[in-house]
Amino acid sequence: MRKTRFLYQHGKSKALTISYDDGVQFDEKLVEILNRYKLKATFNVNSGIKPGTTWINKGIDVTRINLVENKDLYKEHEIAIHTLTHPHLEKLNENEILKEVLEDKINLERIYGGVIRGMSYPFGTYNSKVKDIIRTCGVDYSRTVVENEDFTLPNDFLEWHSTCRHANPRLMEITKRFLEKEDGELDLFYIWGHSYEFEVDNNWELIEEFAEKVSNKEDIWYATNIEVYDYITAVRSLKFSGNKSRVYNPSALDVWISVDGKTVKIDSRETIELL
C-alpha cells in the first residue's frame, strides 16, 4: 500500500497563521510589517467600544481605532469577532452572550462585507455554554489563550490553542524548531498577541526578526485563521475507498496530498486513483 501524507495548499508541508486582538492604533505599524514580509493575519476586533477609547498600559496610551475610517487597514488580512465590548463571556447569560457575539458579527460584516466566521475569546475565557451559543451564531472557530508550544491542529476549532504568543520567551527557539522540522504532517505555527505589547515592551524588533525568519519559505503556506480552518475542514472531509486506492474530495476546495513522496492535487468534487 502506498504511503499517503496530507499537505497544505499547493503542496506545502507547513503553515503559518497569525492573530492579533483588540483593534488599536499600533495595528497600523504591525500591518505594515506583516504586509512587507507577505505574512497573513487575523485581526479580532470589538465593534461596540467607542473609537478613541484609551487606556494606559505601563505609561503607554493605547487607543481603539475607528474601524469604519480604517476599513482598508486590514484589507490583506481577515477580520474576526472579539465581541462587542470584550466581556468574560462565561459570566453572562445566554441572551447577553448572543448580543455580544452576534451584534459584533453583524457590525463587522456591515463594515467589511462578506460573512465573518472566526473569533477569539475575550480574555481567553469560555465554557461549554459559550461554545454552544457561538456555534449557533455561525462561528466556525475561536482562539483561546492557551500556548501549547507545538505545531498540532485542533480537534475542536472552537478551542483553537496557539503555538505561542509573540511574548513567549522561547519564541525564537520554537521558530527554529518549526523551520527545521521536516518529517511532520500538516504542521501549523500559530502565533498571537496584541500590537500594543510591542510598544509597551519597546521591542518592535522582535516581530521584525520573526517576520524575516519565517517569510519567503517554499515549504510554508501563509494563511489567515479562516483559510486554515477551511482547508483543514476540506482535508478532513476526504473520502477514501476501502483499499485506499481511490480518494474523493467532496469539498469546494482543492486539496493536496503526497503519495509515495509525489505531490498530488485532488480537485474539488473530484475522485482520483492513487494506484
In angstroms, rounded to a whole number, what is the distance separating the alpha carbons of residues 202 and 125?
28
Kindly state the average pLDDT of the residues 58-82: 97
What's the predicted TM-score (pTM) here? 0.97
Q: What backbone phi and psi angles, to 5 degrees, belong to 207? A: -70, -30
Sequence spans of domains, the chain: 14-232, 234-273
pLDDT in tens, 190-206: 999 999 999 999 999 99
Q: Is CATH 2.160.20.10 correct for 14-232? A: no
DSSP strands (E only) in the chain = 4-7, 14-21, 41-45, 54-57, 60-63, 78-81, 118-120, 141-147, 160-162, 164-165, 187-193, 220-222, 239-240, 246-248, 255-259, 262-266, 271-273
Q: 39: which 3 cell numbers? A: 505574512
**pLDDT value of position 183:** 79
Q: Is the pLDDT of residue 155 over 70?
A: yes
Q: Is the pLDDT of residue 228 over 90?
A: yes
pLDDT in tens, 7-16: 999 999 999 9
**pLDDT value of position 206:** 99
DSSP single-letter state for residue 127: -
SS3 14: strand
Side chain identity, residue 90 = E
Q: Is the pLDDT of residue 130 over 80?
A: yes
pLDDT in tens, 17-69: 999 999 999 999 999 999 999 999 999 999 999 999 999 999 999 999 999 99
